[in-house]
Amino acid sequence: MKYVFTFRCISAVAVLFVCIDPLTALPPLPNDFPRYKEIQFNIPSSTTELATVRLDDNVYAHTSNLNGGLQVFQSDGPVVAHTINIATEKRSVSRRETWAPERVDLQKQPDGSLLFTLTTKANRAIDGIHIDTPLTDFYQHVTVHGQQLGGEWQEIVPKAVIYDLSQHFAFRASDIPLPVNNYLAFRVVIHEPTSDVPMERQQITETRTAGGIDSTTLTRSIQQRPFQVGRFSFWSNVSEPYHVKPIVQEYSTRDFRAEPYKQEQRVEYLFFATNGQPLTEVSLLTDQENFSREVTLETKVETSTGTDWRFVARDRLQAVAFRELQRAHLRLTFAETRERNWRISIDHGDNAPLTVTGVKAAGHVHELQYLHESGKQYRLYYGAADSLPTALDTTALRTISQRGYAPVTMKLGEPVTNTSHDPRGRRTNVIEIPQVVFWIAGLILMTVTVLGLVAAVGRMESHSGPEKPSDS
């Protein structure tokens, strides 16, 4: 029993000792932050509002951790409960509806072109025509005419192109957009429907003489392939109700440079820096055309052994410019990442390097929300080296926001250096005691307490002693 009691006493003292750590019990204070900005507002003095403030580049640049690295304070009061969310906007979403024509007629024209007549009874807008074909590697010119009920045929798309370039790029376009119309019949003319397609088989003939090879003839088989239509369909874009989408804005970059390219390495490295904004996409800036490269994006991170490059995203970027075909995909997208130093590697293979003139970065916008009481002034303190999370109650704030109440937009003022900031770190409220001294004193106190309890238990057992026999 003595040892059980002693163990319980030691456990109670240890728990008490951990719970009274003055450094973890302190709430955030304004002097924990090196900078602040006044929150500018225009609210009637008799109301309390749900306020929202958008963070800017200066806050991102000096705050590595948004969860505890910044706090809202009343100008002459305590810390204020707040939430940080990704800013969103409401947009209508376009959805495509497709349906088949009521009737399709085919006529072959004297010049060899194919004339398809499509009719529909649908009383709705037709935004385009889709031509489905089982062929690949084609490039066809198409003309479209429209006719109102009982009217004349009108040329509405004089020069359209459908194509498939899958032999070289993963590009295919089989849609023909139409202008705003109310036609019920359409004529689709496919010009020059027969194309010459080289066959894979080749024949080489050489004529030899006593002096060697006199002549060489290369024969390549050519096949005439007619264009095939699988089916036609009409399509229309229908707007859906509002959809919440994160706001993405462009952020500034700096220190862009390209490492000298070496052909034997096959990979080119580009470097740039940001101010720690919440990026979600990076795009290459180049005027070059007709290329396809695998591109990898990395960011520099600190490790236990120094620095290293951490993978962020990889994609195949392309740019194609051929006649009416103008298409480019030069953007890498990824999950929100807040880092400062970035590296892009471009795998050129055996191709010549690209001329990249810079990069463009974009990402989310963060909003801070809090309840703005009437007659009060507020400041946003930020830039704390350590994360200083709070246990403030945000239930009411979140409930108000989720119910759809429109917040009042505030603005941040100019950055101000906090002259009361102590760069040495957090201090206790009563006595400025270094943390190591506090822990040593606590260990001594716990040891003395335990020894005293053990001694007290021993005295209690010695005084009780064995029971004396009763006189008979």
Q: Looking at the structure, do residues 287 and 393 belong to the same domain, yes or no?
A: no
pLDDT in tens, the chain (472 residues): 544 455 455 555 555 544 444 444 467 888 889 999 999 887 666 778 899 999 999 999 999 888 888 999 998 778 999 999 999 887 777 889 999 999 999 999 999 999 999 999 877 889 999 999 999 888 999 999 999 877 899 999 998 999 988 777 778 899 999 999 989 999 999 998 887 666 555 555 666 666 665 666 666 666 778 899 999 999 999 887 777 889 999 999 999 999 988 877 789 999 999 999 999 999 999 999 999 999 999 999 988 888 899 999 999 999 998 888 888 999 999 999 999 999 999 999 888 899 999 999 999 999 999 999 888 899 999 998 777 767 888 898 999 888 888 888 999 999 999 998 877 665 544 444 455 565 676 778 777 677 766 676 666 666 555 555 555 4
Burial-class residue 131 by CB neighbours within 10 Å (0-12, 13-18, 19+). Answer: buried
All residues at 6 or more sequence positions from 433 whose CB lies less than 8 Å from its CB, including other chains: 22
Q: What is the pLDDT of residue 376?
A: 87
Last residue of some domain: 239, 257, 283? Answer: 239
* 166 assigned to some structural domain: yes
Q: Looking at the structure, do residues 108 and 160 belong to the same domain, yes or no?
A: yes
Helix (H) or strand (E) holding 365: none
Q: What is the pLDDT of residue 447?
A: 78
Largest CA distance in the chain: 148
Q: Which residue has the tokens 């809090």?
A: 370
Q: What is the pLDDT of residue 23?
A: 45
Angstrom distance (rounded) from CA 17 to CA 421: 29
Angstrom distance (rounded) from CA 455 to CA 469: 28
Q: What is the pLDDT of residue 204?
A: 59
* 379 assigned to some structural domain: yes
Q: Looking at the structure, do residues 334 and 273 belong to the same domain, yes or no?
A: yes
Q: Looking at the structure, do residues 264 and 391 belong to the same domain, yes or no?
A: no
Q: Which residue has the tokens 């006493």?
A: 9
Q: Looking at the structure, do residues 100 and 231 belong to the same domain, yes or no?
A: yes
* 72 assigned to some structural domain: yes
Q: Looking at the structure, do residues 352 and 273 belong to the same domain, yes or no?
A: yes
Angstrom distance (rounded) from CA 54 to CA 42: 16
**What is the number of structural domains in the chain?**
3
Q: Looking at the structure, do residues 147 and 235 belong to the same domain, yes or no?
A: yes
All residues at 6 or more sequence positions from 13 whose CB lies less than 8 Å from its CB, including other chains: 446, 449, 450
Last residue of some domain: 183, 210, 239? Answer: 239
**Range of 214's domain?**
95-239
Q: What is the pLDDT of residue 266?
A: 86
Angstrom distance (rounded) from CA 454 to CA 446: 12
Q: What is the pLDDT of residue 14?
A: 53
* 428 assigned to some structural domain: no
Q: Looking at the structure, do residues 256 and 342 belong to the same domain, yes or no?
A: yes
Q: Looking at the structure, do residues 255 and 188 belong to the same domain, yes or no?
A: no
366 touches 86 (CB < 8 A) = yes
Ramachandran angles phi, psi of 424, nearest 5°? -75, -10
Total residue count of the chain as it appears in this document: 472
416 touches 37 (CB < 8 A) = yes
Q: Looking at the structure, do residues 180 and 265 belong to the same domain, yes or no?
A: no
* 191 assigned to some structural domain: yes
* 438 assigned to some structural domain: no
How many Cα atoms occupy the beta-carbon half-sphere of 43 within 13 Å? 24
* 67 assigned to some structural domain: yes
* 3 assigned to some structural domain: no
* Cα pseudo-dihedral 63, 252, 414, 27, rounded to 10: -10
Q: Looking at the structure, do residues 141 and 223 belong to the same domain, yes or no?
A: yes
Angstrom distance (rounded) from CA 278 to CA 301: 16
Q: Looking at the structure, do residues 298 and 202 belong to the same domain, yes or no?
A: no
The DSSP line for 399-425 is: HHHHTTPPPEEEEE---EE-TT--TT-
Q: What is the pLDDT of residue 404?
A: 80
Angstrom distance (rounded) from CA 66 to CA 386: 11
Q: What is the pLDDT of residue 454?
A: 67
User: Residue 310: which CATH number?
Assistant: 2.60.120.260
Q: What is the pLDDT of residue 41?
A: 80
In 180-253, DSSP assigns E strands to: 185-190, 194-209, 212-226, 231-246, 248-251
